[in-house]
């Protein structure tokens, strides 16, 4: 990456924090962004604090999609940023919007970065600290005003006492009564002024100065802190763009959603929460108050409609009505919810979906038949049917679905679907027609060496494809596997230790790419990378 002259100069300037008083007073506002980026890249938390505290623009965005080769911000840098926001609040504060969406790092291998949970707790602490600081500042101003008023009243009282002592000897009773009424009036005016001062104090404490946009990660440990921060009114108002919750009951999630500003939430992820059908029926209708919600992901939420239960049909209809009310919904991800035979009811939406992820859903032929004829088929960009057993009866519907989505589909995952050589061969014609396909996942399917070679040849014929996640051939495993092993068996079964055979087979796969002149296509069987 070639650095511009501005980037090079900015790196040199922020490297010496001792000189910051010199350049902060004269740096033009157009250079603040370059200086802040250099401070983040080279981990200069002191410079970050100085710049953010004096930020001259209305909006400050830190985070977002990172470019290739860029590491996430250091934890110390993020903490310096949040502290500087609180310190910079005041009459001269130009900042109105602080956008931290995408700032969190979910890569556990980076020790010095800040994950979603830690960032959420730090943001909530910042909101509460800002409220405390604002309250203290208002009290100082009010005390200063009261002191000035007290001094003025003391001077006036002293003058009045001297004058009354001079005139009291000849003052008639009527004039004395008027004087008493005047004192009462002064007391009433003082009481009204104190009341008005308290109201002004409360208004200044709750006045919103900066809107903070961020992605929040809430679980049982951070729930109380997040709830307090969202319910607190102060100079910083927390807006959540993407909310991820883990291991929280439905009622708690509903209470959390009720505190969020309705126009900010765009995505909701719920993981490992024992919701059940009744919990989802309670949760989904509450999402209608978020007009820009476009993504809903439900993973391992303990929902199984294959077992009959009282009130289950009504709860399913309530779920469908709740999904239908989300007019901006474009992405649905349902993992391990066991919704066999109910896709027609749940996905009968008014607008087509662009991302549909249905792994571990125990789909039946009727579900795939509905998908192939639904309004979603021609709009799908990402389709994940992993770990759904695909048999011969489902192939016609799947072929029709792929043909319908051939003009839009970019990601397709059929990992662990039990596709043998013959079953997968029936999918080759519609796969070749997917002219926009970029990523194809076929891992953990029981394919022979011949089947894997056939998959690579088909992949090489798709000019848009850039990544193929193929399975290990059955010949690469140690003896003892059944003829058509499941994905769990393939995942746990050890591979042969004969590296020469595997390397020779890999070279054969690479030769297919060379013959097809596809140097831009990556082949891998590594599920982790």
Does 311 reside within a domain?
no
Span 1-27, pLDDT tens digits: 456 888 888 888 888 777 777 777 788
Helix and strand numbers, DSSP H then E, in the chain:
19, 13
Q: Are 199 and 220 within one domain?
A: yes
Lowest mean pLDDT among 146-150, 373-377, 482-486: 146-150
Q: How far is Cα 248 from Cα 92, in angstroms, rounded to an integer?
A: 41
Band of residue 99 on the pLDDT scale cut at 50, 70, 90? very high
Q: Are 263 and 238 spatial neighbours (Cβ–Cβ below 8 Å)?
A: no
Burial call 365-390: b when 16+ CB within 10 Å, e when fewer = bebbbbbbebebbebbbbbbbbbbeb
Taking the alpha carbons at both ends of the chain, their separation in whole angstroms is 25
Span 490-514, pLDDT tens digits: 999 999 888 788 889 999 999 999 9
Q: Are 47 and 70 within one domain?
A: no
Q: Are 63 and 23 within one domain?
A: no
Span 193-206, pLDDT tens digits: 655 555 555 555 55
Q: Are 88 and 47 within one domain?
A: no
Contacts (Cβ under 8 Å, ≥6 apart) of 38: 7, 10, 11, 13, 14, 44
Average pLDDT estimate for 284-302: 93
Alpha helices by DSSP H, listed for 294-390, are 312-324, 343-346, 365-373
Q: Are 33 and 14 spatial neighbours (Cβ–Cβ below 8 Å)?
A: no
CA distances from 284 to 230, 298, 367 (A): 21, 11, 22
Q: Are 125 and 230 within one domain?
A: yes
Read off φ and ψ for residue 402, nearest 5 degrees.
-65, -35
Q: Are 50 and 64 within one domain?
A: no
- Give the pLDDT confidence score for residue 146 in this predicted structure: 60
Span 226-280, pLDDT tens digits: 999 999 889 999 999 999 999 999 999 999 999 999 999 999 999 999 888 888 8
Does 40 reside within a domain?
yes
Residue 147 has pLDDT above 70, yes or no: no
Q: Are 51 and 70 within one domain?
A: no
Q: Are 2 and 114 within one domain?
A: no
Q: Return the axis-axis angle of helices 116-167 and 75-87, rounded to nearest 10°.
A: 20
Q: Are 391 and 509 within one domain?
A: yes
pTM: 0.83
For the chain, the average pLDDT equals 86
Q: How far is Cα 128 from Cα 120, in angstroms, rounded to an integer?
A: 13
Span 358-379, pLDDT tens digits: 999 999 999 999 999 999 999 9
Q: Are 138 and 61 within one domain?
A: yes
Q: Are 425 and 522 within one domain?
A: yes
Domain C-terminal end among 41, 56, 71: 56
The boundaries of the domain holding residue 64 are 57-144+191-246
CB atoms < 10 A from the CB of 184, how many?
Answer: 9
Does 139 reside within a domain?
yes
Domain C-terminal end among 223, 246, 269: 246
Q: Are 88 and 231 within one domain?
A: yes
Does 287 reside within a domain?
no
Query: Comparing 457 with 274, which gets the higher pLDDT?
Result: 457
The tokens describing 143, both together, are 């005390």
- Residue 325, burial from CB neighbour count under 10 angstroms (0-12, 13-18, 19+): middle
Does 52 reside within a domain?
yes
Query: Comparing 69 with 312, which gets the higher pLDDT?
Result: 312
Tally of domains within the chain: 3
Q: Are 299 and 272 spatial neighbours (Cβ–Cβ below 8 Å)?
A: yes
- Give the pLDDT confidence score for residue 14 in this predicted structure: 82
Lowest mean pLDDT among 3-7, 155-159, 200-204, 304-308: 200-204
Q: Three-state DSSP class for 508?
A: helix
Query: Comparing 90 with 100, which gets the higher pLDDT?
Result: 100
């Amino acid at each position: 990456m070639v650095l511009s002259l501005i980037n090079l100069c900015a790196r040199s300037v922020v490297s010496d924090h001792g000189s910051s008083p010199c350049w902060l007073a004269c740096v033009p506002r157009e250079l603040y962004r370059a200086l802040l980026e250099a401070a983040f890249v080279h981990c200069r938390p002191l410079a970050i604090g100085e710049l953010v505290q004096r930020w001259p623009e209305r909006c400050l965005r830190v985070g977002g999609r990172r470019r290739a080769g860029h590491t996430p911000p250091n934890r110390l840098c993020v903490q310096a940023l949040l502290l500087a926001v609180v310190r910079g609040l005041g009459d001269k504060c130009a900042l109105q919007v602080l956008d931290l969406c995408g700032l969190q790092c979910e890569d556990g291998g980076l020790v010095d970065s800040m994950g979603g949970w830690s960032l959420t707790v730090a943001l909530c602490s910042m909101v509460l600290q800002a409220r405390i600081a604002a309250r203290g500042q208002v009290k100082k101003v009010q005390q200063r005003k009261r002191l000035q008023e007290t001094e003025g009243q003391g001077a006036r009282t002293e003058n009045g006492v001297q004058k009354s002592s001079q005139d009291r000897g000849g003052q008639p009773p009527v004039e004395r009564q008027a004087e008493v009424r005047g004192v009462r009036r002064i007391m009433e005016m003082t009481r009204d002024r104190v009341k008005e001062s308290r109201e002004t104090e409360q208004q200044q404490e709750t006045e919103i100065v900066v809107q903070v946009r961020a992605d929040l990660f809430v679980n049982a440990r951070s729930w109380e802190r997040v709830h307090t921060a969202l319910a607190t009114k102060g100079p910083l108002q927390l807006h959540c763009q993407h909310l991820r919750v883990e291991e929280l009951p439905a009622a708690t999630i509903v209470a959390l959603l009720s505190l969020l500003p309705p126009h900010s939430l765009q995505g909701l992820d719920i993981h490992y929460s024992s919701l059940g059908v009744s919990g989802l029926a309670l949760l989904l209708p509450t999402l209608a108050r978020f007009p820009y919600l476009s993504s809903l992901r439900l993973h391992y939420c303990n929902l199984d409609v294959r077992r009959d239960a009282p009130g289950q049909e009504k709860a399913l209809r309530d779920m469908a009505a709740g999904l239908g009310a989300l007019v901006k919904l474009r992405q649905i991800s349902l993992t391990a919810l066991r919704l066999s035979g109910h896709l027609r009811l749940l996905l009968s939406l008014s607008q087509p979906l662009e991302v549909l992820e249905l792994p571990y859903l125990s789909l039946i032929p009727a579900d795939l038949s509905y998908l192939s004829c639904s309004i979603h088929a021609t709009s799908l960009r990402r389709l994940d049917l992993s770990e759904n057993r695909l048999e011969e009866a489902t192939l016609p519907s799947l072929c029709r679905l792929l043909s319908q989505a051939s003009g839009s589909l970019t990601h397709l995952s059929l990992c662990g679907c039990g596709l043998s050589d013959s079953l997968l061969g029936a999918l080759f014609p519609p796969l070749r027609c997917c002219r926009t396909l970029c990523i194809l996942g076929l891992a953990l399917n029981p394919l022979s060496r011949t089947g894997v070679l056939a998959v690579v040849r088909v992949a090489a014929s798709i000019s848009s494809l850039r990544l193929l996640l193929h399975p290990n051939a059955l010949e690469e495993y140690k003896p003892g596997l059944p003829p058509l092993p499941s994905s769990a068996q393939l995942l746990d079964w050890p591979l042969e230790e004969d590296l020469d055979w595997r390397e020779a087979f890999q070279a054969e796969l690479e030769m297919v790419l060379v013959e097809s002149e596809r140097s831009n296509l990556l082949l891998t069987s590594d599920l982790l990378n």
